[in-house]
């Protein structure tokens, strides 16, 4: 029997409880409280940096679209809640993020980043993105190095594809699939119909 020391897609998402900042207030968040919804975990290196505010604000700006898909977002870094608050109180033009539509979680003791295997040797979180389904199972993971930002549009497309195949278990989504496009029947003979059409 093979053993592993890290999480991967298909595993139950490691639970955690931590302090977050939301609407200029400190609040306790717990992963298990999000059961019954889809959840995007958005790990990022540090507040007051360069790529991070572009990602954090981009996800906030598309929050309503993500929320309409029965999904929530949690941003997570190794900064303290006080650092998160100061970053939110700084406007975007000055390198802050302003008011966000989702919480930023403090992982000051680095246990969350470690449990999701995104903590680098410098003690920063890599750019990890995890999509967790309603049952608390990780359905998607993506990790970028520090200097490369992620695509909000691709995260949304992937979320829609995950939801589609979970609602249609006899179908799978091909490369670059978008809602409304053809899928593939999960059967050798029926799959040929799709391949004949491309």
CA distance linking residue 130 with residue 44, whole number of Å: 12
Helical H runs in 71-175? Answer: 81-88, 111-115, 152-167
Answer yes or no: CATH 3.40.50.300 is held by domain 17-167: no
- Condensed to tens digits (0 to 9), the pLDDT of residues 21-58 reads 999 999 999 999 999 999 999 999 999 999 999 999 99
The pTM is what?
A: 0.94
Residue 130 parent element (H or E): strand 127-132
Please tell me the predicted confidence (pLDDT) of residue 1: 58
Please tell me the predicted confidence (pLDDT) of residue 4: 59
Q: For residue 41, how far is the Cα from the chain centroid?
A: 3
Please tell me the predicted confidence (pLDDT) of residue 2: 56
CA distance linking residue 56 with residue 34, whole number of Å: 20
Per domain, the residue ranges of the chain are 17-167, 169-198
Beta bridge partners of 185: 171
DSSP-assigned letters across all residues of 170-186:
TEE--TT--TTS--EES
- Condensed to tens digits (0 to 9), the pLDDT of residues 65-82 reads 999 999 999 999 999 999
> Which residues are known catalytic residues?
52
CA distance linking residue 113 with residue 126, whole number of Å: 8
List of the chain residues with pLDDT < 70? 1-5
């Amino acid at each position: 029997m093979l053993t592993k020391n890290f999480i991967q897609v298909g595993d139950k998402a490691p639970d955690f409880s931590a302090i977050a900042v939301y609407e200029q207030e400190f609040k306790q968040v717990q992963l298990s409280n999000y059961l019954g919804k889809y959840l995007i975990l958005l790990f990022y290196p540090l507040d007051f940096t360069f790529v991070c505010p572009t990602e954090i604000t981009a996800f906030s700006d598309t929050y309503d679209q993500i929320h309409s898909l029965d999904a929530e977002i949690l941003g997570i870094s190794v900064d303290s809640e006080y650092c998160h608050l100061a970053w939110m109180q700084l406007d975007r033009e000055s390198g802050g993020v302003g008011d966000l539509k989702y919480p930023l979680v403090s992982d000051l003791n680095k246990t969350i980043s470690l449990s999701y295997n995104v903590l680098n040797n410098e003690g920063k979180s890599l750019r990890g993105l995890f999509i967790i389904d309603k049952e608390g199972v990780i359905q998607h993971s993506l990790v970028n190095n520090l200097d490369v930002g992620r695509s909000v549009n691709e995260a949304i497309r992937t979320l829609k594809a995950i939801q589609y195949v979970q609602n249609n278990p006899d179908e799978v989504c091909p490369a670059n699939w978008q809602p409304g496009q053809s899928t593939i029947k999960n059967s050798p003979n029926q799959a040929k119909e799709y391949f004949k059409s491309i």
